Amino acid sequence: MAGKTVGRLQGTDGVRRPVALAAEFEYGPLEVFHRNGIMTEEFFELYCYAHVTRMIETGMMEPGDEVLIGWDGRDIEERYTGSAVDGIAKAGGVPGVLGVIPTPGVAIALVCRSAATAFMITASHNPRDQNGIKIFNGPGAVKPLTEEDDLLSSAVEAADFGAVRRKPKKYPPVDLTQWGRRRFADFHMDPRNMWIGPGESLFTETGVIVDAALGAMAGLGPMIFSQLGFGQVTEVAGEQNGDINRDSGVAYLEGIRAISAKRFAEDAGIARHKLVNKMFEAGRAFAAKPGGLKRLMGVVFDGDGDRFFLLWYDPAEDTLHILSGDECSSIQAAWLMQSAPDEHRGKTFAYTVESDINVARHIAGLGLKPEVMAVGDKWILHRANSFPAAFALGAEETGHSIHAGFVQLAACGAEAKVFAGNGLKGAINTLVAVHRLGGSNNEKMSALLKEPFEPGFKQTGYAYYIEKNLFHRGSEVWKGVQDMINRSIMEGSAPDLAVEPLLIADEPDMLFIKLVKAGEGHVASIFVRNSGTEDKISVNVRGPRALRTLLQKTLEAAMGILLKKMKNRGHRMAAAERMILEQLFHGEQPKKEFYPGVDFDRLTYEMEIKQKLIRSGTEGFSLTLLGRECVD
């Protein structure tokens, strides 16, 4: 495979795939990657070797310069991370090993140590059977953009792994584990990086439960929240046993705005989530004991700690409210404009197409300048680093939060600015803003947490375990979905609603359609895209509540095509999914023991919560209308 270019290896953020050991295959790492869609430990070595070699050859670093590397803890035997370290050393970099650390910790360390580049070995919110590689480049800890990904892909394809395997390691690794974790903690306690003054108490009447997603934020998040003076700090999913993101983490809760007591009691899939379970338990306990804490919040991260959601338990309604990146960023923006309007007015608020369509209107009303980007925090980071003086805040609906932080350079003590998708900083900023804006008035704070801005209608449908190559600009499936969307809109809309396709330059294979209303302009969006990080495709609708019925029907129509046309029938999980649907269609209950080698809990969660193909109840699983249509 050496020298053969078959396209970009990377997705939305680095490269990410299921992993397996090279001994299971008879051919090399690139062929395994292309033929099986799997990353072996040899691929990690080759990829890191190619990147560092290219950095040296292009003069972006010198042989013997430090290359930082951290990881999220899913690879407990360090087979893949160890091979990545070997690749750095063989290429001529000194591996500065940060060990288990959140992704923003790698970015902070890179800027602090003035390193030329750094790797984060993580699959972020993906399940434990997957892993991946993210890259940061100096001096500002930026992520590679499309053209840089293309160049690295070509370098990886051109490399001869047989030769790489025989190369000696030129430099031994340097252990920076304790330094990196200490620097990460110090960054968040630095007064320059907080919206509260030294020694100020905002949180003494607030309890917080932290969900580390069994990943890199374990221990660190609770420690920092304790130092900030919360009345009570509890951690769930804080074990680092490699079972990352299982029944925990941000991705599990995507698309859910609130969980009522009824849903918690009846929805076994949602009730499995460790933070949801703990918040109902703890919230009900503190509500029964007046005079203690006044409120209970939750912070949920993903496996590598660069994303977060905020949760709030409402004791009056026995309901758990979930604030996504949209709600959290709007609260942050409101506080920025209230606290320093002259400093921030007219500055950029960068967001992506996934956000609620009303976010931009709300932010503009506050006085910031909204700018929409393609999916992925790398585009927001690029905007922030290109025009730092004009940048106020960046956010993704999925939980990335980007705001300037400051570090001291290790070499000279000078101050440097760093932007990074940082779940912990975003969570702290949001909690500060909530307490500033709400004050000691519980009713005012409750109203803010329930509805930080007037929301529109926002829904996403997913199809998992697909053949992603079937969906690209101009393909049969792509055109079929486009025609279905156009037909659905034409049949169900008012005559003053027009359909306008839009090419998103940074993601040309995304099908993006604007709905434009006479006299109002762009009022709604429908977009379909392959995930850049997971084996799935999504249909996304965003618009006003008045168009809810139309948008929902359009989403369902498009999902019907994707679920029927794109499933990879040769995939073990897709085959098991099909068997479950057929069993339920014939009145049989699927049982875990009949699906050996399949993560049954994960699969039924994806089928129920994400794809809406089945529902669970006291009698077991049953088919939804969409699930029944897939069998029919």
Which pLDDT score, from 0 to 100, does residue 494 have? Answer: 67
Average pLDDT over residues 29-48: 97
> Domain range holding 480?
456-560
Whole-angstrom distance, CA of residue 615 vs CA of residue 604: 9
pLDDT digits (tens, 9 = 90+) for 122-175: 999 999 999 999 999 999 999 999 999 999 999 999 999 999 999 999 999 999
Whole-angstrom distance, CA of residue 582 vs CA of residue 108: 50
Q: How many CB atoms lie within 10 A of CB 31?
A: 14
Whole-angstrom distance, CA of residue 491 vs CA of residue 483: 12
Query: Both 476 and 545 in a single domain?
Result: yes
User: Which residue, 484, 313, 401, is CA-closest to 104?
Assistant: 401
Report phi then psi at 68, rounded to 5. Answer: -85, 150
Residue 10 located in a structural domain: no
Angle at 335 between CA 106 and CA 315, to 5 degrees: 90
Is the pLDDT confidence value at 569 over 80?
yes
Whole-angstrom distance, CA of residue 202 vs CA of residue 506: 41
Q: How many CB atoms lie within 10 A of CB 241?
A: 12
Residue 266 located in a structural domain: yes
Residues 193, 411: contact at Cβ < 8 Å?
no
The residue out of 512, 532, 560 marking a domain boundary is: 560
Query: Both 612 and 531 in a single domain?
Result: no
Query: Both 434 and 541 in a single domain?
Result: no
Query: Both 544 and 488 in a single domain?
Result: yes
CA dihedral 536→537→543→546, nearest 10 degrees, is -90
The residue out of 505, 537, 560 marking a domain boundary is: 560
The residue out of 528, 560, 592 marking a domain boundary is: 560
Whole-angstrom distance, CA of residue 123 vs CA of residue 215: 11
Whole-angstrom distance, CA of residue 509 vs CA of residue 594: 39
Residue found by looking up tokens 């031994």 in the block: 172
Query: Both 527 and 631 in a single domain?
Result: no
Query: Both 278 and 426 in a single domain?
Result: yes
Is the pLDDT confidence value at 556 over 50?
yes
Q: What is the DSSP string of 215-275?
A: TTTTTHHHHHHHHTT-SEEEEES---SS-TTTT-SSGGGTT--EE-HHHHHH-HHHHT-HH
Residue 28 located in a structural domain: yes
129-to-35, 48, 222 alpha-carbon distances in Å = 18, 20, 27
Whole-angstrom distance, CA of residue 251 vs CA of residue 269: 13
- Beta strands 130-137; 15-18: pairing state: antiparallel
E-state strands within 29-84:
66-71
Average pLDDT over residues 215-238: 96
102-to-72, 128, 134, 421, 559 alpha-carbon distances in Å = 7, 16, 12, 10, 35
175-to-90, 115, 180, 253, 624 alpha-carbon distances in Å = 17, 15, 9, 36, 52
Beta bridge partners of 15: 133
Whole-angstrom distance, CA of residue 603 vs CA of residue 574: 9
pLDDT digits (tens, 9 = 90+) for 55-94: 999 999 999 999 999 999 999 999 999 999 999 999 999 9
Taking only Cα atoms into account, the Rg of the chain, rounded to an integer number of angstroms, comes to 24
Q: What is the DSSP string of 605-624?
A: HIIIIIS-SEEEETTEEEE-
Whole-angstrom distance, CA of residue 369 vs CA of residue 387: 13
Structural domain total, the chain: 4
pLDDT digits (tens, 9 = 90+) for 394-427: 999 999 999 999 999 987 778 999 999 999 999 9
Beta bridge partners of 233: 208
Residues 467, 566: contact at Cβ < 8 Å?
yes
Q: What is the rounded average pLDDT for all residues in the chain?
A: 94
HSE of 253, CA atoms in CB hemisphere, 13 A: 34
Q: Which residues are within 8 A (CB) of 87 and not within 5 positions of it... i.e. 6 or more apart?
A: 44, 45, 46, 47, 48, 49, 50, 52, 164
Query: Both 237 and 328 in a single domain?
Result: yes
Which pLDDT score, from 0 to 100, does residue 2 have? Answer: 37
Whole-angstrom distance, CA of residue 436 vs CA of residue 61: 45
Report phi then psi at 142, rounded to 5. Answer: -85, 155
Beta bridge partners of 314: 319
Query: Both 104 and 174 in a single domain?
Result: yes
Residue 3 located in a structural domain: no
**CA end-to-end span of the chain, whole Å?**
42
Residue 281 located in a structural domain: yes
Q: Which domain CATH number covers 47?
A: 3.40.120.10
pLDDT digits (tens, 9 = 90+) for 279-298: 999 999 987 777 678 999 99
Residue 57 located in a structural domain: yes
Query: Both 530 and 628 in a single domain?
Result: no
Q: How many CB atoms lie within 10 A of CB 65?
A: 20
Residues 171, 94: contact at Cβ < 8 Å?
yes
Q: Which ranges of 451-511 does DSSP label H, i.e. alpha helix?
A: 476-492
Query: Both 468 and 437 in a single domain?
Result: no
Q: Which domain CATH number covers 589?
A: 1.10.10
354-386 b/e (C-beta count within 10 Å ≥ 16 → b)? bbbbbbbebbeebbbbbbbbbbbbbbbbbbbbe
Beta bridge partners of 405: 418
Residues 195, 403: contact at Cβ < 8 Å?
no
Query: Both 278 and 402 in a single domain?
Result: yes
Mean pLDDT lowest among 79-88, 180-189, 434-443: 434-443
Which pLDDT score, from 0 to 100, does residue 293 have? Answer: 87
pLDDT digits (tens, 9 = 90+) for 459-500: 999 999 999 999 999 999 999 999 999 999 988 866 788 999
Residue 204 located in a structural domain: yes
Residue 94 located in a structural domain: yes
pLDDT digits (tens, 9 = 90+) for 309-336: 999 999 999 999 999 999 999 999 999 9
457-480 b/e (C-beta count within 10 Å ≥ 16 → b)? bbebbbbbbbbbebbeeeeebbee
Query: Both 444 and 468 in a single domain?
Result: no
